[in-house]
Chain A
Amino acid sequence: MRGIDTIRATKWYQWLAVGYLVLMAVFALFAPLLSESFLGFAPNELTGSDLYYTAPGSVEQDGRTHLLGTDRMGRDVATRLIYGTRTALFVGLGVSVISLLISLVLGLAAGYYGDRGVRMNSWQLIWIAISAVVSGFYSSVFGFGFWLIGVLILIGSIAYLLGRLSERRISVPIDLLTMKGIEIFKTIPGLFLILSLFAIMRQPGMLTVILILGLVSWPAKTRIVRAETMRLVSSNFIKSAQLSGLSDWRILHRHILPNVLAPISIAVAYTFTGAILAESTLSFLGIGLPEDIPSWGAILREARDYFAAWWLAVFPGLAVFFTVLTLNIIADWLNQR
């Protein structure tokens, strides 16, 4: 019965939003198939030289039609829009996953252990400090690699064994450190940080873009995870789990994580939207993705070179607008439930 109630309570625009999202996913998944069989163009194909900036509906000599016109270099706008869907969804997903992982690790640790939860004896503290410095030194000499993970595991297990040496312990203020980190991070304006990171990365590819946007968007979600975890820790069911002797790891991943995922999913939905918007803005400014990866923002940028080409200004913008609108509607829907 609950399913039927949910369907009844769903408003028309929410149905539309879901439909649009499904359509986008289809476009993204079957971009090559769609563009080849229906439109007949490749995303970076330069068509005949007389077809620069041709209006929607103009026909090539071989009978193929440019449904939504062509750009400055004679590339088919409709094809590039479809491939742009793929880019947008890929960036949105990648950024959401990266920032979700960072915020879950930091937020759960800060919220669960607080300032007093992690206690170490002085042997452990000294060991961890020295090995952090030394492994930091060697990774700056040899470059970061997967061997670092092995070293970290080794350091961790020795630190665990050292814990048996002495029972006099000092607490490590994980919560304070995380909150300070967020405060410092929030001081530098996001767009400027992104711009300078891009300047350092001279030739950013798709993965670099995703990594940078993901690294920039963790603070807000970390705060949410931390607050939610703190609320749960003070609740009775976590207290009784702790009293019954469950391990921290089990409590965290079996009892706290599932309860944190619901509130964080809304924030992730907004991150998804924000990432798509940020990517298209960056491509619009001419920073970010390389020229041969079709992106809505990059198509829109060309409208500024030639004002008579209204199709370059209207269609990619509509795509961004509807996507953001759709995702906002879905996020708010999640929020209400």
Chain B
Amino acid sequence: MGRYLLRRIALLIPTLIAVLIFTFVLHTYMPGDEIMERLDLEGKSVSFDRAQYSQSYLELQSQLGLGGPAFYFGLQPSHQPSDARDIIPASYRQRLLQLNGQVKNWSKIMAYHEALQSALMAHEKDPSQARLYRQLNNLERINTIEELRSLSVDLPEEAAELKNVIGQLEPSNAMILPSLRWHGLDNRFYHWVGRLFSADGRVSLVDGVPVADKIGAALRWTLSLSLISLILAIVLSMMIALWQSWSTRSWAVRITDGFMYAIYALPLFWLATLMIVFFTTDHYGSWTNVFPSIGIKPWMLGDSAIANLGVYAKQLILPVFCLLLANMSYLTRQLRTDLKRQREQPYVTSVRAKGVSRWRLIYHHLLPNALVPYITIVTGAIPRALVGSVVIEEIFNLPGVGKLMLQSIHQSDWPVSISIIILVGIVTIFSYILADVLYMIFYPQIAQSLEES
């Protein structure tokens, strides 16, 4: 068993690396500029002072390990520079690289870049040149030669040198050749992984709060919501499924079956919407206003802890109920099918022939065997418990992980959303191992077949 587990864990390392790379690629394609947004949070905006802004941008960039090449090695067109991190901000760097895609001569592009920047520096403080400054600023947003040329026509005498440099930029039809480059450890992926596992490596781009604190606070809600509903669902589903296989009233069993089937098809977001629309307001008569309106009230310092807990419990009733119904219908159907399948096994006949009572047959023989798939279901529910239900948390306005994820994606707060994805990914990987361990402990015969495979 130990050797099997060791092999299993060793095999997970490539999976983990692949997940990290996959998430990194996802992160690279997300819109927005992390450095710019963090500088905004610190109160330094672009219009503040050009030289000073560039300096703080470069400092933060090297501190965060951004700006360098993406990976340890790369295959790039030979006319592109291997490292252009001195050109900031990142969006401007991207446009220059696109221009170079047409010109295919990086030294010409650099000449243009230097001429543009020195012109910008020269005219920044001069109010009489405000129009020229605006024109130059516009040039920073251009990524094709054609546009650049048509804009440079309007430039006044003061920018003659820049005009000259732009005139020298010509599209080239040279062959694009790949060149393989080794970038070493100073690359974005390396620093990204490093920041991922450091305590204060990531802060939210919305309010500057460390990501770990944000996720921790959200986890409290999500875990209480999903664990309460999951445990209730497991208990209830066992009771219902056992009653179903115990009962002799076939019509009652059929009705429960149909009910579970219908609930299974009930979309969670519809159920929750119906609940808040009909049971939290006075619109449909005061008697329907049973539950408190949605959202979490802050913890009242004056009140006693019990009173506060009562308020929170009330807030959780509806979301727990919705999740409970969804989980329960699934679990009951699953357990019922497995119990039925066990009933058809030949050993049931011999057990019955021995004169064992029906109760004993169900509890001592059918149930333990039917619980095998439960291990998969329960361990599979662990990562889902962490994620919570995005829909439920969104509708009932609970500040859990799902809601945090949705919010961070809406606000382009990538440090938060990427951290959540990786956290859940790691927990998922470990829940697979946990499932294997549980199988080995409870069902040695399965363990044996696992070890042989």
Chain A residues close to B by CB (< 8 Å): 133-134, 136-138, 141, 180, 183-184, 186-189, 191-193, 195-200, 202, 277, 280-281, 284-285, 287, 297, 300, 303-304, 307-308, 310, 313-314, 317, 320-321, 324-325, 328
Contacts and interface: CB of A to CB of B under 8 A. Distances in A.
B237 to A, nearest CB: 18
B171 to A, nearest CB: 15
Nearest to A136: B75
A335 B187 CA distance: 52
A313 B277 contact: yes
B298 interface: no
Contact of A200 (B22, B31, B273): B31
B391 A303 contact: no
Interface string B16-48: 001100110010011100000000000000000
Nearest to A310: B277
B265 A328 contact: yes
A195 B409 contact: yes
B291 interface: no
A192 B31 contact: no
The list of the 6 closest CB pairs from A to B, nearest first, reads A317-B270, A325-B265, A308-B283, A324-B265, A313-B277, A187-B425
Interface size class of B (residues with CB under 8 A): 35 or more
Interface string B327-362: 000000000000000000000000000000000000
A325 B262 CA distance: 7
Contacts of B117: none
Contacts of B265: 321, 324-325, 328
Given A192-B424, A202-B31, A307-B281, A180 B270 contact: no
Contacts of A133: 75
Contacts of B281: 307-308
B273 A313 contact: yes
Contacts of A183: 15
26 contacts: A137-B178, A141-B101, A184-B22, A187-B428, A187-B429, A188-B23, A188-B428, A189-B383, A189-B387, A189-B424, A192-B421, A195-B409, A196-B421, A200-B30, A280-B267, A281-B269, A285-B390, A304-B395, A307-B277, A307-B281, A307-B283, A310-B284, A313-B274, A320-B267, A320-B270, A328-B261
Contact of A196 (B15, B30, B390): B30
A285 B394 contact: yes
Given A187-B15, A281-B267, A284-B391, 16 more contacts: A180-B14, A187-B425, A187-B428, A188-B425, A189-B387, A191-B390, A195-B417, A196-B30, A196-B409, A199-B31, A284-B269, A304-B276, A304-B277, A310-B277, A317-B274, A320-B270
Interface in B67-98: 75, 77
B266 interface: yes
A195 B19 contact: no
Contacts of B267: 277, 280-281, 317, 320-321, 324
B278 interface: yes
Nearest to B27: A196
Nearest to A196: B26
Nearest to B180: A133
B273 A317 contact: yes
B75 A188 contact: no
Contacts of B417: 192, 195-196, 199
Contacts of B384: 189
